[in-house]
Amino acid sequence: MNEKVKDIKNKFESDLKNVKNTKELNELRVEYLGKKGYIQKLNPLIKDLSNEEKKEFGKSLNDIKNFISKELEELKMKLDKKELEEKLVSEKIDTSLPATKFSKGSIHPLTKVRREIEEIFISMGYDVVEGPEVEFDLYNFEKLNLPKNHPARDMQDTFYVNDEVLLRTHTSPVQVRTLEKSEGDIRIICPGKTYRRDSDDPTHSHQFTQVEGLVVSKDVSLSHLKGTLEEFAKKMFGDSVKVRFRPNYFPFTEPSIEVDISCFKCKGEGCSFCSKTGFIEILGAGMVHPNVLKMSGYDPEVYRGFAFGMGIERVAMIRHEINDIRDFYTNDIRFLNQFNRKGGLEDEA
């Protein structure tokens, strides 16, 4: 019986010498130690042996199994090491090759300008707050002194979700939301998206962005509003910019004004871009109407406020000499790349 074990051992030793890789090694393992392998095939023979022979045969079976396992394991370690070394050589990375260039994105010019506006007002002591883009009619119109069927609603037509809910036409509803939540002095700005049923043209879009400003205190006046906006314009456009205030009408401010900045194209001379006026409108503003203060819990006999709402696109267009508002939304990489250059709106990220 032990002869058979010896034969298997001899055959295994000669087979092992021919193994060249881990695949062949695994095949050899199955051939000898697998369920149908040489060793398993010896098991049924045990039953015909005497007790004494069974003991001896069992021991030699264990010995040969241990021997084969150990030999296979040792060879496996050697082959693994060899194969890893070969792989490292064949997959060597040439670090001296120039890397493949990939283009880096940049912050959108509107985001960049919005952040610049925020920083200017933060430096003047304003807090930045947010409000919902899908707004109640109550906040977008009614509590801004524009009751249902008020003719001035025609100035800002919008997209309605239902009779009471709409896409906000301006950031002014945030004035109401802030007044309702506050007591005493307020000094906030609110940037965000706004929507109107305006026809798209070089200076108008059906979706645009505004920054609302609201200051409430016992002693603010129109002079504070003018001073604040002049200071903002100088910081944003440089000391040489001309700012023009025109009387206007908004139902939620009294008096109301509109503010224009000298045209970047003709420097105030008058050209086709500014409709020969030399100026481009950037914002509406005024002293908060007493009704608006009253409806949100402020006593207009004690508190006064000023407010403004500016179009970020218009500011960005003047600041960066952009001729068409639609360029901001069409994602033309050639347009956006201009702001990625040194001297442009360089991405600080």
| Residues within the interface to ligand FA5 (CB under 6 A) | 170, 172, 196, 198, 204-205, 208, 210, 250, 253, 256, 281-286, 307-311, 313-314, 325
We find the least distance from the C-beta atom of residue 129 to ligand FA5, in angstroms, to be 14
We find the least distance from the C-beta atom of residue 246 to ligand FA5, in angstroms, to be 11
Which residue reads 């200017």 in tokens?
120
Q: Which is nearer to ligand FA5, 61 or 310 (CB)?
A: 310
Q: Which is nearer to ligand FA5, 208 or 237 (CB)?
A: 208
We find the least distance from the C-beta atom of residue 111 to ligand FA5, in angstroms, to be 16
We find the least distance from the C-beta atom of residue 160 to ligand FA5, in angstroms, to be 17
Q: Which is nearer to ligand FA5, 178 or 256 (CB)?
A: 256
We find the least distance from the C-beta atom of residue 317 to ligand FA5, in angstroms, to be 9
Q: What is the DSSP string of 128-157?
A: E----SEEEHHHHTGGGT--TT-GGGGGG-
Structure tokens belonging to residue 4: 């058979």
The length of the chain in residues reads 349
Structure tokens belonging to residue 193: 């998206």
We find the least distance from the C-beta atom of residue 101 to ligand FA5, in angstroms, to be 37
We find the least distance from the C-beta atom of residue 328 to ligand FA5, in angstroms, to be 10
Structure tokens belonging to residue 327: 């360029």
We find the least distance from the C-beta atom of residue 345 to ligand FA5, in angstroms, to be 19
Q: Which is nearer to ligand FA5, 34 or 300 (CB)?
A: 300
The residue number with the shortest CB distance to ligand FA5 is 311
Beta-sheet strand order (sheet of 207-217): 127-128, 186-195, 207-217, 304-311, 279-288, 253-262, 243-250
Q: Which is nearer to ligand FA5, 208 or 264 (CB)?
A: 208
Structure tokens belonging to residue 76: 């496996």
For residue 313, which of 175, 159, 204 has the smallest C-alpha distance?
A: 204
For residue 320, which of 92, 112, 120 has the smallest C-alpha distance?
A: 112
Distance CA 274, CA 112 (A): 24
Counting DSSP H helices and E strands in the chain, the numbers are 11, 9
Q: Which is nearer to ligand FA5, 172 or 296 (CB)?
A: 172
CB atoms within 10 A of CB 56: 13
CB atoms within 10 A of CB 52: 8
**Residues 6+ away with beta carbon under 8 Å from 237:** 261, 318, 319
CA dihedral angle for residue 254, residue 255, residue 258, residue 261, rounded to 10 degrees: -130
DSSP code at position 171: S
Structure tokens belonging to residue 287: 């002293």
